[in-house]
Amino acid sequence: MFTTTEFILRIAIAGVLGAAVGLERELRAKEAGTRTHFLVAMGSALFTILSQYGFDESLKIYSSFASFDPSRIAAQVVTGIGFIGAGTIIFQKHVVKGLTTAAGLWATAAIGMTAATGLYALAIGSTVLVLCCLEVFSFVVNRFGMKKIAVTFSTRSHDTVRQLLSELQADGVDFDNYGMKQIVVDGERQYEVTLEMKLRRRNYRTRILDFVKEFNGVSIELIE
């Protein structure tokens, strides 16, 4: 029979492994960080241990005339973690954000459950694979992938807007959405343009800033 010390060790290992994944997310300023992942892994481990060993006495007493499923509580962890994951997903400016963090929480719960069953090597190996996935793929995507951004700029000249859009198209920039409205600033009419575009992730902000600086009278209001 396992001791309380063994159970606490399993929970602690689960928490540390979860925190390792959370630290990577926190360093990237994502929605869920070290504490959230630590608690998810630790809680999942605790529920798993409770499911496996928390009802031994009841099983001994009632096993002759009742059936019990010791994995039922652990199975609900998989469902329950979906609510936490959903809370990290947001839809903003036609872009879905937080999916990777939500998937990371789901994987962290699985790591916690694995550690709770005593499969330490599997739990550690899974943590390493999750971290490799997050770091290696992030490097590849940031270097070679595309990013969808929204840029808002203003100018007093409608011709400048037309010229800027033409130059961006000639430069191979794809527009997903385009909107323009007239505003009055200090008694002068201006055109405020919002573009949703796809650009290479590498140095995309610098590229946009340098490109717009070439046009006199154009100022960037927002880059998201």
What is the tens place of the pLDDT at every residue in 172-186?
Answer: 777 767 788 887 777
pLDDT of 124 over the 90 cut = yes
Domain boundaries of the chain, sorted by first residue: 4-144, 146-223
Confidence of residue 150 (pLDDT cuts 50, 70, 90): confident
What's the pTM value of the predicted model, to 2 decimals? Answer: 0.70
Please report the pLDDT score of residue 100 as a whole number: 84
Beta strands in the chain (DSSP E): 90-92, 95-97, 146-155, 174-185, 188-200, 219-223
| Per-residue pLDDT at 212 | 65
CA angle 121, 126, 130 (to 5 degrees): 150
Q: Look up the CATH architecture of domain 146-223.
A: 2-Layer Sandwich (3.30)
